[in-house]
Structure 1
Amino acid sequence: MDRTILHCDMNGFYASVELLALPELKGKPVAVCGNPDNRHGIILAKNEEAKAYGVVTAETVWQARKKCPDLILVPPHHDRYRSYSQKINEIYARYTDRVEPFSIDESWLDVSGSLKLFGTGKEIGDTIRETVKKELGLTLSVGVSFNKVLAKMGSEYKKPDATTVINRDNFRKILWPLPVRELFFVGGVTADKLEKAGIKTIGDLAVYNRTLICSMLGKQGAVIHDYANGIDDSPVCLSCERQKIKSVGNGMTFKRDLVGLADIKTAILALSDTVATRLRSYELKCQGVKVDIKDPMFKTISRQKQLSSASNLAEEIGAASLELICKYWRMNEPIRMLTVTGISLVDEGEAEQLSLFVAEQKDREKSETIERTLDAIRKKYGGSAITFGGILKNDIGIELHEMVQEDG
């Protein structure tokens, strides 16, 4: 028997939360960006009025204002977004205990066991939309399907404030005509490779030879070929299971051995970035960092240290990792594999403590804005859409799809 999965996606979440505090701006084009005074700043979110002018997430302020000269810019308030995210997920929990946050404004719900109580998947989706609107003044779009991937595609299909049902009978008709880059898990780089091979639509991918796709993209090819054919059996986690995550790590065996500080810095930058990104997606921070180092003879050492304050910033996780390596490893000895892990995890809300040093706090806020801007760009254009300059054109084999996730 098929499951009934919902994917709930808030509409213009950051901008909508800001407008709750600024009701006088309702009906006007509004966007949230890191620094409204910096024309090179990045748009983090926009409301429907700004969207109507063609303003898009992740473009620069000057590009957005070129499209919409009257665009009103407001700074982000991440504490508010976290607070509303918690309230929204508490509403979801009224309908099922299987609520799995995907980001601060998206969650999957498995309501298979709730149908007798609350009606069909569509009816539950509609009820949730009305409840969130009435209690919080925010809107969302809901996708309803028999697996997580198609539910997410459903929430993207019609916005704002809509419920879309994608079932076994209609998923080909709805999804196969769409551009292949709109398929979940297909980023910009992957989409370019597919399009060069003549695979323009999701339907093209679905009927393409699976072996050839795998030879082109490796394991990722098999995953997205399944997705295009509506195949996904991944479970929606119980709400309590999310709290069981004790660590978030990334490791990599390199194309060649690392030798010297420059190589190590490049590797640490990439590994710390992915760890920090996933910590933020889980709304967690780490109180400590662990580094595992393996040499060409497969000898491994592990070292860890506590941070002065909990963090989910690549800059801070990377600095601690590099400090451990410099302290416990001889720089002239080769490294075959590195793993960086955030340990002693706490919820972001629990970790919020003001620094005694105002300058230090301002620096952290600036770093957080920059890294959350990267999150917004990657969410829209794929994980490989943007990275740090120090990682580009490396010869040690760093590519996002080669990273090994180690969430424990």
Structure 2
Amino acid sequence: MESKARVIFHIDMNSYYASVEMAFHPELKGKPLAIAGNAKERRGIIVTCSYEARKFGVKATMPIWEAKKLCPNLIVKEPDFDKYRSVSKRMFEILKSYTEWVEPVSIDEGYMDVTEVEGNLHPLKLAQAIQDRLLDELQLPCSIGVAPNKFLAKMASDMKKPLGITVLRKRDMTHKLWPLEIQEMHGIGKKTAEKLKKLGFHTIGDLAKAPELTLKVALGVNGKKLWERANGIDRRKVDPESVNEIKSIGNSTTLPTDTEDLHTLERVLESLTDRVSKRLYTRGYVTEGVQVTIRYFNRKNTNRSMTLARPMYKTEELLPYVKKLFIENWNEDPVRLLGVTATQLVDKKSVTQQLDLFSYEKDEKDYKLNETLQQLYKKHGKSIISKGVDKPK
């Protein structure tokens, strides 16, 4: 590494869900495996697949029927999110045994600042040791990018999969990074890539060589940031506390008069949930938890929360859980104030693909939720709760 430069690792687990399943079921190793919702149905969507399956052309977002057409021997399993979260926790514990400077980005990737790691072990030997340990203790393969900053480390980890260790220095950029297509640059989505191509920028090198002002005019603040990244400039530090910077997003309202009218309370919950949903969207977060606050006429408070099955932010997804919490914990006394809070926030960018692909879970989760709602109907009557708004945001 260059002298006085930070030494940043980006750890990226390879085919994480499929790899976890293989770790728990060794008989699956070496076989074409896909993780998909509605695994027994043709309309199910592939979330991820093993490298053995990829050799046949199987990939994420592909319907099961199409995947099996390409790979008749494809093994398809339903996802087990509790297991994936549990293994992820163990994975990050291993990373933190090397340094406290570990920043989780999502369930299967994170950054490490290993500049001050004791022992003065060469970065490549340290990366190899970490990779070997994850493989030995968890049976999970990973790729590691080694670079002087987070952006270059992220780009490096994508260059060799599975089980790759790639060093990307600033002096390597002209031949390793700049020839890549613009859409391969971390931080550039489909729409931004299309806009840049219309402006004549087709490679990362085109972006790096462009006048900074041109990009600022075209893309505003984001244009300056992308220009800096393309030139290997990234001042962000590895921040172990970044996931806790914003812990919750909530809204509450005091009712005009204390009320025990179920219809009124239901409408208030819908309005509050919609406002929380909009704030989540605006700030770029999804939530893995939700909390409901009830303040009664005598100013006594009740706060109840629950963890969601998957990250979400839309009103129609959150509302059934909000209403379930309220109905199960309301003592039927007059209510003075209601509050809805999204907890356990996650950066939407880190789970964008999951949000797009996990919609298949909706049928199963709605079925379980409807069973609970039916029990509540029997106890309180049908007017107590409705499933949610029909119109998507």
TM over 0.5: yes
CA distance in 1, matches of 2:319, 2:229: 34
DSSP-derived class of the 1:157 partner: coil
**How far off its partner does 1:23 sit?**
2.1
Q: Which residue of 1 aligns with 2:32?
A: 29
CA distance in 1, matches of 2:121, 2:217: 44
- 1:182 lines up with 2:181 in the alignment: no
Q: CA deviation at 1:62?
A: 2.7
Measure how far apart 1:319 and its partner are: 6.4
Change (3 A) 1:198 1:39: farther
- Deviations along 1:227-278, whole A, 9 cap, x unmatched? 111111111113x56456422589xxxxxxxxxxxxx899759636648973
- Distance in 2 (CA, whole Å) between partners of 1:109 and 1:201 is 28
1:157-176 → structure 2 map (5 Å cutoff):
157-176=159-178
Paired with 1:265 and 1:42, the residues of 2 have a C-alpha distance of: 33
Match of 1:313 in 2: 312
Q: CA separation in 1, counterparts of 2:125 and 2:303?
A: 48
Aligned-CA RMSD value: 3.7
Q: Contact 2:273 / 2:319 at 8 angstroms: preserved in 1? A: no
Equivalent of 1:230, from 229, 232, 240?
232
What SS does structure 2 have at the residue aligned with 1:82?
helix
- C-alpha change, 1:219 and 1:389, in structure 2 (3 Å) is farther
**Equivalence for 1:271:** 278
Provide the C-alpha distance between the structure 1 equivalents of 2:87 and 2:135, rounded to a whole number of angstroms: 12
Match of 1:144 in 2: 146
Question: Is the contact between residue 58 and residue 67 of structure 2 (CA under 8 Å) also seen in structure 1?
Answer: yes
AA aligned opposite 1:128: I
Measured after TM superposition, the shift of residue 171 of structure 1 is 2.2
1:199 is matched with: 201
Could you say what secondary structure the match of 1:32 adopts?
Answer: strand
Which of residues 1, 5, 19 is equivalent to 1:16? 19
Conserved 8 A contact 1:45-1:57: yes
1:287 aligns with 2:295: no
Structure 1 distance, partners of 2:37, 2:198, is 35
Residue 343 (structure 1) shift: 4.8
**How far does residue 209 in structure 1 lie from its aligned partner after superposition?**
2.3
Supply the distance in 1 between the matched residues of 2:70 and 2:228 (Cα, whole angstroms).
39
Q: Which amino acid aligns with 1:187?
A: G
The 2-side partners of 1:211 and 1:51 are apart by: 42
Distance between the aligned counterparts of 1:319 and 1:272, measured in 2? 18
Shift of 1:54: 1.7
Tell me if 1:3 matches 2:6: yes
Aligned 1:6-405 pairs, distance under 5 A:
6-114=9-117, 116-238=118-240, 242-243=243-244, 245-248=246-249, 271=278, 274=281, 278-279=285-286, 284-288=288-292, 309-311=306-308, 312-314=311-313, 315-317=316-318, 342-343=341-342, 345=344, 362-363=364-365, 390=392
- Which 5+ residue runs of structure 2 have no aligned equivalent? 252-270, 294-300, 324-338, 347-361, 370-389
Letter in 2 for 1:232: D
Task: Calculate percent identity across the aligned residue pairs.
Answer: 36
Contact 2:12 2:109 in 1 (8 A): yes
What is the TM-score when the length of structure 2 is the normalising length?
Answer: 0.70
In structure 2, C-alpha distance between the alignment counterparts of 1:366 and 1:145, rounded to whole Å: 46
Distance change (3 Å), C-alpha of 1:271 and 1:69: farther
Does the 8 A contact of 1:248 with 1:275 survive in 2? no
- The amino acid that maps onto 1:10 is M
2:291 touches 2:340 (CA, 8 Å); kept in 1?
no
The question of whether the paired residues in 2 share the 8 Å contact of 1:118 and 1:124 is answered with no
- Distance, in Å, in 2 between the alignment partners of 1:56 and 1:95 is 34
TM-score (norm. length: structure 1): 0.67
Query: Offset of 1:41 from its aligned partner?
Result: 2.1
Distance 1:9 1:288, change over 3 A: farther
Amino acid at match of 2:102: V
> In structure 2, do the counterparts of structure 1 residues 268 and 34 end up closer, same or farther at CA, with 3 Å as the change threshold?
farther
CA contact (8 A) 1:46 1:55 kept: yes
Q: Which runs of 5+ in 1 are unaligned?
A: 251-263, 290-303, 323-339, 348-359, 368-387, 392-408
- Please state whether the residue corresponding to 1:101 is helix, strand or coil: strand
Q: Using the alignment, how far apart are the partners of 1:59 and 1:361 within structure 2?
A: 18
What is the CA distance between 1:69 and its match in structure 2? 2.5
User: In structure 1, what residue type is equivalent to 2:204?
Assistant: I
Shift of residue 219, structure 1, vs aligned partner: 1.9
Q: Secondary structure at the match of 1:87?
A: helix
> Does the 8 A contact of 2:22 with 2:28 survive in 1?
yes
